[in-house]
C-alpha cells in the first residue's frame, strides 16, 4: 500500500465526514452565495478545526475567491486546499537527531499512545540501522515497563528499566549513561501519563528534562507531545499547557484512524504554531506516518 493510500485509509472516518459534506458544499457554490461560506465554516468547526481557525480559513478563502475571481467549486476546493496546507506548514517537521546519542522524551496525558508511538519510532530507527535504547521512564504503572520491553524486543532495541515506583529521573540518568557507554544512536524515554494541570507531575517532567540537559548538554533533544486526535478540542488545551511547562519541540497526533474529527490538526498548527511531526493511524509498528501537510489535506478533501 502506498503512502498516500495509507493516509487515506487511516483517515477514512475523518475523510468521510469532512469530504462528503465538503463535496456537496462545493457543488452548491454558485459564485455569490454567502450560504456557501457559512456551510463551509460549519463543516470545518464540526471536524474539530476549532472556531477561530475555521473562521480564519474561510475568511482567507473569501479573500482569495474575490482576488482571483474564482467561480467554480473545483477552483474553490483547490484554493481551500492551499489555505489549509499553509496553515499546517509551521516549523520543521524533521526530527533533529544528529548527535550520538540524541534523545527523544515522550510526554502526554494518560492513554494517548506514548508507549505505542515509542515502539513505532524504535522500529523505524532500527530499520534504518540505528542503535536504539528505550528508557522505561514510566515507573508509575507496574505494567508500563513490561509493555515497553515488548516493543524493545519487537523492534530490536535495548531497554533500561528500574523497579516500579522508582524515580523516573534516575532511570533516565541510567539510560543516558548506558547509551554513552554502548555507543547508542538514539535514546527514547517513555514517561507516565500525566494531567497537564497537575503541577507536581509537570515538575517531575522538568526534573527529567534537567537530567537530560545536564548529562548531554550538546545532544539533539526532541520533546514530543503525544495527543489523541479523538479527544478533540481538549487536545489544544493539553498542548498549550505542556508547551508552556515542558517546552515541546513537536507533536505526534495519534488515533487519526479512529476519529471523524481529524480537523483538530488545523487548530493545533494554526493556534500553537508547533509542528505536527508524525501521525498515528493504527496500533501496528508501521502505523506511524511522517506528517506531510499537502498530502494530508489532499487525502482529506479528495
Ligand atoms: N487506533 C489506534 N490506536 C492507537 C494508536 N496509538 C496508540 N493506540 C492504542 O491506544 C492505547 C493506549 O496506548 P499506549 O501507547 O499504551 O498509551 P500511553 O500514552 O503510553 O498510555 P499511559 O502510559 O497509560 O499513559 C493502546 O491500546 C494502543 O494500541 C493509533 O494511532 N491508532
Ligand atoms: Mg505508556
The reported pLDDT for the residue numbered 17 is 63
Q: Is the CB of 254 under 6 A from ligand 1?
A: yes
Cβ of 120 less than 6 Å from ligand 1: no
115 C-beta closer than 6 A to ligand 1: yes
Contact 191, 106 (CB under 8 A): yes
| pLDDT for residue 163 | 92
What's the gap in Å between 76 CA and the centre of ligand 2?
Answer: 43
Distance 139 CA to ligand 2 centre (A): 10
Distance CA 141, CA 59 (A): 47
- Is residue 142 within 6 Å of ligand 1 at its C-beta? no
- Using the atom order of ligand 1, give the atom closest to the CA of residue 194: 25
Instruction: Report the chain's terminal Cα–Cα distance, integer Å.
Output: 18
Q: Which residues contact 251 (CB under 8 A, 6 or more apart)?
A: 224, 225, 226, 227, 239, 268, 274, 275, 276, 277
C-alpha 208 – ligand 1 centre gap (Å): 22
How far is the CA of 157 from the CAs of 113, 130, 131, 212, 230, in angstroms?
A: 19, 9, 7, 20, 30
Ion ligand 2: residues, CB < 5 A: 114-115
Per DSSP bridges, beta strands 158-160 and 132-135 are parallel
For each of the domains in the chain, give its residue range(s) and CATH number, in order of start: 3-88 (1.20.120.140), 102-291 (3.40.50.300)
Please compute Rg for the chain using Cα positions.
21
pTM (2 decimals)? Answer: 0.91
Q: Is the CB of 161 under 6 A from ligand 1?
A: no
Evaluate whether 115 touches 144 at the Cβ level (below 8 Å): yes
Bridge partners, 227 (sequence order): 253
| Rama region for 45: left / alpha / beta (φ>0; ψ in -120 to 50; rest) | alpha
Strands of 62-185 (E only): list them. Answer: 102-107, 132-135, 158-160
- Closest residue by Cα to atom 21, ligand 1, is 111
Distances (CA, A) of 118 to 27, 110, 162, 224: 43, 15, 18, 10
Tell me the C-alpha distance between 3 and 188, whole Å.
Answer: 25
283 lines ligand 1 (CB under 6 A): yes
Ligand 1 atom closest to Cα of residue 280: 31
- Report which of 187, 181, 189 is spatially closest to residue 208, judged by C-alpha positions: 189
In the DSSP assignment, the letter for residue 288 is: E
- Taking the C-alpha atoms of residue 80 and residue 19, their distance in angstroms, rounded to an integer, is 12
For residue 262 and ligand 1, the question of a CB distance below 6 A is answered with: no
The conformation of residue 300, written as its DSSP 8-state character, comes to H
- 212 touches 176 (CB < 8 A): yes
pLDDT, residue 20, reads: 62
Instruction: Indicate whether residue 222 lines ligand 1 (CB < 6 A).
Output: no
Per-residue pLDDT of the chain (302 residues; tens, 9 = 90+): 555 566 666 666 666 666 666 777 787 777 667 788 888 888 888 888 888 999 999 999 999 999 998 888 888 889 999 999 999 999 899 999 999 999 999 999 999 999 999 999 999 999 999 999 999 999 998 899 999 999 999 999 999 999 999 999 999 999 999 999 999 999 999 999 988 788 888 899 999 999 999 999 999 999 999 999 888 888 888 898 999 888 999 999 999 887 767 788 898 899 889 999 999 989 999 999 999 999 888 877 77
Strands of the sheet containing 288-290, edge to edge, are 158-160, 132-135, 186-189, 102-107, 221-228, 250-254, 276-280, 288-290
Instruction: Select from 283, 285, 288 the residue to mutate for testing ligand 1; criterion: most ligand atoms less than 8 Å from CB.
Output: 283
- Residue whose C-alpha cell reads 464540526 in the numeric block: 46
Residue-wise over 6-45: b if at least 16 C-beta within 10 A, else e? bbbebbbbbbebbbebbeebbeebeeeeeebbebbbebbb
Which of 111, 148, 189, 192 is the pocket-test mutation for ligand 1 (most atoms within 8 Å of CB)?
A: 111
| 216 CA to centre of ligand 1 in angstroms | 29
Please tell me the number of Cα atoms within 13 Å of 29 on its side-chain side: 22
Amino acid at each position: 500500500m502506498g503512502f498516500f493510500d495509507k493516509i487515506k485509509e487511516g483517515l477514512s472516518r475523518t475523510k468521510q465526514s469532512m469530504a462528503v459534506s465538503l463535496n456537496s458544499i462545493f457543488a452548491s457554490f454558485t459564485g455569490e452565495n454567502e450560504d456557501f461560506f457559512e456551510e463551509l465554516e460549519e463543516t470545518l468547526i464540526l471536524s474539530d478545526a476549532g472556531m477561530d481557525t475555521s473562521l480564519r480559513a474561510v475568511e482567507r478563502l473569501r479573500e482569495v475567491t474575490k482576488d482571483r475571481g474564482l467561480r467554480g467549486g473545483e477552483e474553490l476546493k483547490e484554493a481551500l486546499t492551499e489555505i489549509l496546507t499553509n496553515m499546517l506548514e509551521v516549523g520543521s517537521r524533521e526530527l533533529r537527531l544528529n548527535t550520538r546519542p540524541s534523545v527523544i522524551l515522550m510526554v502526554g496525558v494518560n492513554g494517548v499512545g506514548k508507549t505505542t508511538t515509542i515502539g513505532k519510532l524504535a522500529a523505524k530507527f532500527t530499520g534504518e540501522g540505528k542503535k536504539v535504547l528505550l528508557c522505561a521512564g514510566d515507573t508509575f504503572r507496574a505494567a508500563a515497563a513490561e509493555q515497553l520491553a515488548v516493543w524493545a524486543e519487537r523492534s530490536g532495541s535495548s531497554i533500561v528499566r528500574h523497579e516500579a515506583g522508582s524515580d523516573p529521573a534516575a532511570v533516565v540518568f541510567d539510560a543516558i549513561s548506558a547509551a554513552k557507554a554502548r555507543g547508542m544512536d538514539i535514546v527514547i524515554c517513555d514517561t507516565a501519563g500525566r494531567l497537564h494541570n497537575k503541577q507536581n507531575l509537570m515538575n517531575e517532567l522538568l526534573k527529567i528534562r534537567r537530567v537530560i540537559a545536564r548529562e548531554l548538554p550538546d545532544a539533539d533533544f526532541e520533546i514530543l507531545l503525544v495527543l489523541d486526535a479523538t479527544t478533540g478540542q481538549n487536545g489544544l488545551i493539553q498542548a498549550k499547557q505542556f508547551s508552556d511547562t515542558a517546552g515541546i519541540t513537536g507533536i505526534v497526533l495519534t488515533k487519526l484512524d479512529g476519529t471523524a474529527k481529524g480537523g483538530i490538526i488545523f487548530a493545533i498548527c494554526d493556534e500553537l504554531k508547533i509542528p505536527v511531526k508524525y501521525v498515528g493511524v493504527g496500533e501496528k509498528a508501521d502505523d506511524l506516518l511522517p506528517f506531510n501537510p499537502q498530502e494530508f489535506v489532499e487525502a482529506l478533501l479528495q
